[in-house]
Amino acid sequence: MKRLFLVMLTVVLVFSATVMAETFTRGETLYAGGGLWGPPTNWNPITPWSAVTGTFGLVYEPLFMYDPLEDELIPWLATSGEWVDLNTFVLEIREGVKWTDGTPLTAEDVKFTFDLAKTHPETYYSSLWDWLDRIEKEGNTLKFHFVEPLYHEWHNNLYNLPIIPKHLWEGRTKEAILTGANERPVGSGAYFAHSYASDRMIYVRNDDWWATEQLDLVPAPRRIVYVVIFSNNVALGMILQGELDVSNFFLPGVPTLKRTYEDIHTWFDDAPYMLSDNTAFLYMNTTKKPMDDPVFRRAVAFAINSEDIKTRVFEDQVLVSNPLGYLPIDAWMQYYDEDVVEAYGFTYDPAEAKKILAEAGYRDINGDGFVQLPDGSPIRLSIIVPFGWTDWMESIRIIASNLRAVGINADATFPDFGRYQDELFDGEFHMAINNFGSNASNTLWTFYDWLFYELGERQTSGNFGRYDNPEIFALLDQFNRTPFDDHETSAQIMSKMQEIFLKEMPAVPLWYNGMWFQGSTQVWTDYPSEHGPYHYPCTWGGRWQEGGLLMLTDLKPRQ
Amino acid sequence: MAVSVKNLKIYYQTLRGQVQAVDNVSFDIKDHEILGMAGESGCGKSTFSNSLVLLKPPMKFMGGRVELDGESLPLADFRKMNEFRYKKISLIPQYAMNALNPTRKIGRMIAELLASRGVSFSKISRELDRRLKLVNLNRSVMKMYPFELSGGMRQRAVMVIATLLDPSLLLADEITSALDVSTQKAVAKMLVQFRDMDLVKSLVFVTHDISILYQIADRVLIMYAGKAVEIAPTKKITKEPLHPYTRLLISSLPDVGVKYSERRLAGIKGRPPGLLNPFPGCRFKERCPVRFEKCDKEPPLAEVSENHQVACWREVGNNG
Amino acid sequence: MKKNEFLYFALRNTRMQIGLGIVLFFFAVMIIGPSLTDYDPNEYSGPAFARPSEDHWLGTTFFGQDVFTQIVYGLRATFIVGAVGGGLATLIGLIVGFIAGYKGGILDEILNMLTNIVTVIPTLALLIIIAAYLPYRGVVSQSIIIGCIAWPWTARAVRAQTFSLRSREFVDLARMSGMSSMKIIVQEIAPNMLSYLFMALILQFGGAILAAATLDFIGLGPTEGISLGLMMQNAVLWSAIPLGLWWWALPPGMIIAAIVSALYFMNTGLDEIFNPKLREM
Amino acid sequence: MGRYFRRKLLIYLLTFFAAVSINWMIPRLMPGDPIRALIGRAALRAEAADKVAEYFSRIYGLDQPAWRQYVNFWTSLFKGDLGISIYLSPKPVTQVIRDSIPFDLGLLIPAILCSWIVGNKFGAFAARRKRLDGIVLPIWYVFTATPYMWLAILLAYVFGVLLGIFPIAGAYSFAISPSLSISFILNYLKHWFLPFLSLFIVQLGGWAIGMRNMIIYELEADYSRYMESLGAPRKLIRRYAFRNAMLPQITGLALQLGVIVAGAVGTQVVFSYPGIGYLLLQAVMYKDYFLIQGCFLFIVIGVLIANFVIDVIYVIVDPRVRHGMGGETA
């Protein structure tokens, strides 16, 4: 038995000595992490929830890129797009673009991508066809005729739809399109999906990429190894060892470590280190007492010390939100109405919170140290975040103590994610932190659409607090129907919405979660930063087009 | 003289002190003799037989001398004793039924045991067959596991194993206690036969059951609380026991063969003294019906008539 | 052997002394600890990252919570998990094992099957489900789940013991004299197994503590309160080791290791006490 | 003998049926909707989300009544189909398991076997050697009593980050593609070592203590004493004791190997090492019914096979059981 084993071992060793392992040249390879949380199994851009990060962005490309820092749509597969009249949008499709199988990418492919959602209403972007009438193709020009154009929604779609090759997809069954793995994706992008294993996804540069010729862009890494990492401490360890170049993890301790390890790069040299990516809101369930009372909700807003959360929990890696929850990006801030905020905004002011409560009749009648409803019944609220989301867990502990400090009896509780989701969707919670739809975009419509999503039986896509105000729903709809460049009308609508929001306070903006990004400069340099190059350093699934791809073109191997 | 025991002291080392389990015991065993050793449980008789084969902590050798065929036994030296074990002194233990490795076939176990003692199994295999026949065991038991045999069969197998190397001294420790009367008799007869056939030179038969000794013992030694209190030929001791303890023991005997294990002797009040720091003087004095002042001194084991020794001031006094 | 004799040996067995000493020490810390600290376990009572000092004996966490206070309250969770989880596991194992071993036959096979089924039930999923029906997961519910899942090996061992005991003379005697099964189990078999059970309880106690630590670590710990396992989880999630917060990262693990190995020590000690053959003089 | 195994087989089949059914039911009692959890990973407009959710429910057969789903489950199981994973959509569960399980086996089998062998040898060696026992026993205790993940993280930090001797993540370097070459094998082994070591250390103590205790019991058993009385050398006595003490250890080994599939969640989390354990944890988090069912099917089969192997091994190595065949086997 032992002998047999030895013989086998020798055979294997002798055999393997003749094989050379393929080892990636370090200077040509970029190791990235933070956007992949399980084994790669899906490269289907039609199922963005399952697709491996990079499927959209590195392999499949959008019509436009979007730069949130400059608030600019960058022509990509389309060279231009404009409204020729109020109901017609014209796209010029770039010429000379090829799919990686050599077939040219044409307007036909773009049209096919849109038509797909009409053929199969189960496609995730099929709601377009509720207000889109038809697409007309003339050479490389596509004319979109709308029934009732939703300008803001349309502009958002311009950089969020992956264009797929017609010749490879039209023959597929409905099931293959909507649920298939699309294992050997053929796109038009800068990288091929080369290979994968259960703990990594490997992309290899497409040296025939159209943008090299047309835009003079060359992604520096010949190979991207996107690694699956289960825990923060492994990611941190790998960064310290120089084994992870780009990390989009939230890593506690970065400010401290930056002091000792000079190889850790962040966007800002000092606090807040990170760009802001989305706003964390405290949703209040407006169908439950006393959160149905706007006065009470406003008191809550005054009571919360977000500054404390920022320093304690996030070590100043985040910024405290403005009272509207607008991210500090031009696309949003252009509508920020100082006067409205001045008039109706809030700041951390426990005394004011107490005053508001007292004036509205919330008093401590039974002397237990907490206020009761005006009718005398007790208040006992719970704030929920999913168990295991540690930064939020610490945050709501602080919020709960803030609320108790002004006399509102609140506890932090941590249900498992499934239950958290159910409570949110079914409106069973009291208060909850959420940020699912508040990430940076080119229009405030995405932000408000999430915040004031119209009411249904279950709130699966936003407005978890079930805030019911026909006026604000109407304003939002009106905003969506306002031409994208009609700033004046848009601003008027926005000011009204801001006023209602601040007066009614259906949810309290707390802080901006960061665009978590740490780069290791041991192998690569010229990472995006406040000193340039200015690219939004995002490698999360579905968001490479916001700057992640362009970041690659500016990287340089360290000398 | 085959065996001579002189002033043997075996104590148990415990956390509270030493338990004087065998205290200053002296006697001889002649060739071809079966010596019965009797007494209540805890009197030291088992300690004695164990100390000759396996003296290890907490048992402690405190002094005395044991000679076997003129050689002094290195009792305190565990290693040196190995030369004597099995070859010269052998044991049929109280736990004979569980004395065999449960996961080895008996034959194989014997072979391994013998090999480890430097004896070739093949040479002895014929003799083994003969002896198995002697105890009414079929040869096939060699191919069996212990659990495949009944308790009695296992015990007989152990008898064969224990005597396989023709030891000078065989110690049989309470081997009949768990058996029914007829089996007891059969086992006793076999042992006598072993002796008669010269398979063992001398035999110490340890039991709490005097009645069985009538059948096999040549002489009987009565132990009480770690001391030998009386030694005499079997007939003599049954007819004219001298020590008050022996007398009570014999008079309280129920009909032969009735088990009284674990029960207090009916006629004797009280219980044996603890052997941890026992009181001075005769150890039976507290229970003795004929006690007098002298009993506060320890009585020597003295020869009162031919082949009859007793440790009692009354008897010693009579003669002296 | 008499009871005081057990006690006598128990108090003189070094392993028992060491083990019991450590366990009692931490028990005492748990009892008197809260009076030694002015803080709440999750309260931000000081500066973040503070090294051990007079104000914070074991320093503070990433957020400025007092580590010593967390340990004191965490110990409570640890002992509750041990007592409730370990106790429940022993109790169920005892009942199932007894009945299976004593009755035998079909009942035995069924219980044996049950034992096998329980060993393959997914603990994780069960925890989440139970959490869904309880308002939130607490230390006690965690203990109960651990108890409901850890009993099979005790059951197996008890069953084997009962098997061997029930064939002994005294049980036969009892049976012949017309005692009911229950009575036989309670009056005849159980006392003979008491020592054995006591040791099983100790092992289950330690096992439950470790199981809870693992669950806490992978994020299935109590969703309320504090436990040593949660402290470890937090320390890891907040990179306490690379950040050099050893006073936060190390003590919880060390304390669990100390308590559980002390329990195992006690177990070996007890083994020697109940089983005179094993005593080393 | 035949009757014995037939009866055992029947019991095993029943156990299998019951255990698998329970494992089918349990995930379905969990709160939340797996499809919602899946598509919730991408922020979609509600109208679209509803349509997508409906479509996926139909594809996964989750729109059918529970009894129907249960019947479907058994019918496809008999066809060897464990369904499609939701969390790793659209990968078939069988394939998920097939891709991951080599890592589990490659890590756990050596770890369990090595710790078992070394633990038994050490335990047996130290038993009844007073000095050695006094030193070694506490070490074993501390090993077994240390929370595994905590130990693993310390190991990873000291050997990986501080000393930089071993890598801390992955099954092989992220800079190499698998091939049957020396450098790859060495690379694999280098990554394998720390996870292996951590598992080896925690398990070692348990085996060693078990063996030590068993040996002591056996050395104190009547048969050992008798061998000693007959002057048998220590070596022979210890050999007998070792053999007899091995029986319970074999049971333990088989049981340990039985739960191997779910055995290494901690390792996988700490070292980002691929394997079923972590997938299972994620599957539970995402309520991936099919993956949970599939993993547990393997666990159930593993445990049952282990039990069966124990039964068979006992028949071979323990003559007592062979003898009592058909009756009780305690």
User: Cβ–Cβ of C224/A413 closer than 8 Å?
Assistant: yes
Which CATH superfamily is D100-329 part of? MetI-like (1.10.3720.10)
Does the domain at B3-88+167-255+268-319 match CATH 3.40.50.300? Answer given as yes
Choose, out of D89, D162, D186, the residue to mutate when testing the contact with A (most A CBs < 10 Å). Answer: D89
With b for 16 or more beta-carbon neighbours within 10 A and e for fewer, the A381-419 pattern comes to: bbbbbbbbbbbbbbbbbbbbbbbeebbbbbbbbbbbbbb
Q: How far is D207 from chain B (nearest CA, A)?
A: 22
Residue type, D180: L
If contacts are CB pairs under 8 Å, which of residues 104-163 in chain C contact chain D?
104, 108-109, 112-113, 116-117, 119-122, 124-126, 128-129, 132, 159-160, 163
C-alpha span between A509 and A324 (Å, rounded):
7
Residue spans per domain, chain D: 32-81, 100-329
The DSSP code sequence of B191-232 is: HHHHHHTTSSSEEEEEES-HHHHHHH-SEEEEEETTEEEEEE
Higher pLDDT, D135 or B273: D135
Chain D residue at shortest CA distance from A232: D270
Residue D39 contacts residue A436 (beta carbons within 8 Å): no
The reply to whether C56 falls in a domain is no
Scanning C161-180 for CB atoms below 8 A from A yields none
Give the mean pLDDT of chain B. 81
Question: How many alpha carbons lie under 13 Å from residue C70 in its C-beta half-sphere?
Answer: 31
D contacts of A44 (beta carbons < 8 Å): 90
- Is B113's CB within 8 Å of D236's CB? yes
Using omega within 30 degrees of 0 as the cis cutoff, is the peptide bond preceding D90 cis?
yes
Confidence label for B261 from pLDDT (cuts 50, 70 and 90)? very low
Q: Would an 8 Å CB–CB cutoff place C9 in contact with chain B?
A: yes
The answer to whether A378 faces chain D, any CB pair under 8 Å, is: no
Give the helix ranges, DSSP H, for chain D: 2-28, 34-39, 46-59, 66-78, 93-126, 130-145, 148-155, 182-219, 222-229, 234-258, 265-271, 276-285, 289-317, 319-323
Taking a C-beta distance cutoff of 8 angstroms, is the pair D230, B110 a contact? no
CB D170 within 8 A of CB A235: no
Question: Which of C136, C139, C236 is the best residue to mutate to test the A interface, defined by the most A CB atoms within 10 Å of its own CB?
Answer: C136
Percent residues over pLDDT 90 in chain D: 12
B102 touches chain D (CB under 8 A): yes
Out of C8, C12, C281, the one facing B58 most closely (by C-beta) is: C281
How many separate helices (H) and strands (E) can be counted in chain A? 19, 22
Between CA B176 and CA B173 the distance in angstroms is 8
Q: Do B104 and D240 touch (CB under 8 A)?
A: yes
Put simply, the chain A residues between 130 and 169 with a CB less than 8 A from any chain D CB are: 130
CB-based contact A273:A374 (threshold 8 Å):
no
Q: Largest alpha-carbon pair distance within chain D?
A: 88
* Record: contact D18-C217, CB cut-off 8 A: no
Tens of pLDDT along chain C (281 residues) come to: 445 566 666 667 788 888 999 999 999 999 998 888 888 888 888 888 888 888 888 888 888 889 999 999 999 999 999 999 999 999 999 889 888 887 777 888 888 888 878 876 666 666 666 666 666 678 888 898 889 888 888 888 888 777 766 655 556 556 556 667 677 667 666 666 777 788 888 889 998 999 898 888 877 777 777 899 989 988 888 888 888 888 998 999 999 999 999 998 888 888 777 766 555 53
Q: A289 Cβ partners below 8 Å, 6+ apart?
A: A373, A379
For β-strands B302-305 and A246-247, DSSP reports them as unpaired
**Tokens 């030895």 sit on residue:** A6
> What was the pLDDT predicted at A446?
93
Q: What is the pLDDT of residue B270?
A: 66
**Joined tokens for residue A484:** 């994208």
- List, as ranges, residues 235-254 from A with C-beta within 8 Å of C: 236-237, 240, 251-253
- Judged by DSSP in three states, C273 sits in helix
Express as a percent the part of chain B with pLDDT over 70: 91
Q: Which residue of D has its CA nearest to C231?
A: D150
pLDDT at residue D1 is higher than 70: no
Question: Between chains, do B53 and D223 touch, taking CB under 8 Å as contact?
Answer: no
Using alpha carbons only, what angle is made at residue C163 by residues B179 and C115, rounded to the nearest 5 degrees? 170
pLDDT at position A9:
67
Find the length of chain A: 559
**For the domain that residue C234 is a member of, what is the CATH number?**
1.10.3720.10
Cα first-last separation, chain C: 18
The residues with which A282 forms a beta bridge, in sequence order, are A433, A508
What does the alpha-carbon distance between residue B275 and residue B45 come to, in Å, rounded to a whole number?
13
Q: How far is A391 from chain C (nearest CA, A)?
A: 9
Count the Cβ atoms, other than its own, within 10 Å of residue A19.
14
**Cα of C277 to nearest chain B Cα, Å:** 10
Query: Which of A239-243, A522-526, D154-158 is predicted most confidently?
Result: A522-526
- B110 contacts B143 by C-beta, under 8 angstroms: no
Token representation of residue A71 = 């608030």
**DSSP conformational letter for D92:** B
User: Cα–Cα–Cα angle for A40, A43, A46, nearest 5°?
Assistant: 135
Give mean pLDDT, residues A389-417: 90
- Say if strands A381-384 and A410-413 run parallel, antiparallel, or are unpaired: parallel
Asked if A387 lies within 8 A of C223 by C-beta distance, the reply is yes
Query: CB distance from B79 to chain D under 8 Å?
Result: no
**Over residues D22-48, mean pLDDT:** 80
Chain A to chain D, count of Cβ pairs less than 8 Å apart? 204
**Helix D182-219 / helix D93-126 crossing angle, nearest 10 deg:** 50
Does residue C80 belong to any structural domain of this protein?
yes
What is the reported pLDDT for C132? 61
Which residue on chain A is closest to D55 by alpha carbon? A122
Is the Cβ pair A241, D160 closer than 8 Å? yes
**How far, in whole angstroms, is CA B238 from its chain's centroid?**
19
pLDDT over 60 at A478, yes or no: yes
Higher pLDDT: A296 or B235? It is: A296
Please judge whether B98 and D221 are an interchain contact, meaning their C-beta atoms are less than 8 angstroms apart: yes
- Please state, in angstroms and rounded to a whole number, the distance separating the CA atoms of residues A92 and A81: 6
Q: How confident is the model at residue B269 (pLDDT cuts 50, 70, 90)?
A: low
- Cβ separation of D23 and C236 shorter than 8 Å? no
From residue C136, alpha-carbon distances to A416, C146, C221, D286 in Å are 9, 16, 11, 19
B21-42 average pLDDT score? 84
What are chain A's domains? 60-179 (3.90.76.10), 196-274+517-557 (3.40.190.10), 276-514 (3.10.105.10)
D21-39 mean pLDDT: 83
The number of folded domains in chain C is 1
**C132 and A418: CB-CB below 8 Å?**
yes
pLDDT at D2: 72
Count of CB contacts below 8 A, B vs C? 8
Which residues of chain B have a CB within 8 Å of the CB of C12? Answer: 15
Q: Is the pLDDT of residue D329 over 60?
A: no
Q: Which residue of C has its CA nearest to B12?
A: C281
Listed in sequence order, the residues at least 6 apart from A372 whose beta carbon sits closer than 8 Å to its beta carbon are A362, A363, A364, A365, A366, A378, A379
Q: What is the DSSP code string of C178-228?
A: T--HHHIIIIIIHHHHHHHHHHHHHHHHHHHHHHHHHHHHTT-S-SSS--H
- The answer to whether residue D144 neighbours chain C at the CB level (below 8 Å) is yes
Chains with 3 or more CB pairs closer than 8 angstroms to C? A, B, D
ipTM entry:
0.80
Domain that holds residue C25: 3-32+66-278
For residue C43, the model assigns a pLDDT of: 80
Q: d(Cα B212, Cα D24) in Å, to the nearest integer?
A: 69
Query: Higher-confidence residue: B21 or A152?
Result: A152
Average pLDDT value for residue range A23-32: 91
* Cβ contact, residue pair D14, C113, below 8 Å: yes
Nearest CA in chain B to C277: B58
Q: List subunits contacting chain A, requiring 3 or more Cβ pairs under 8 Å.
A: C, D
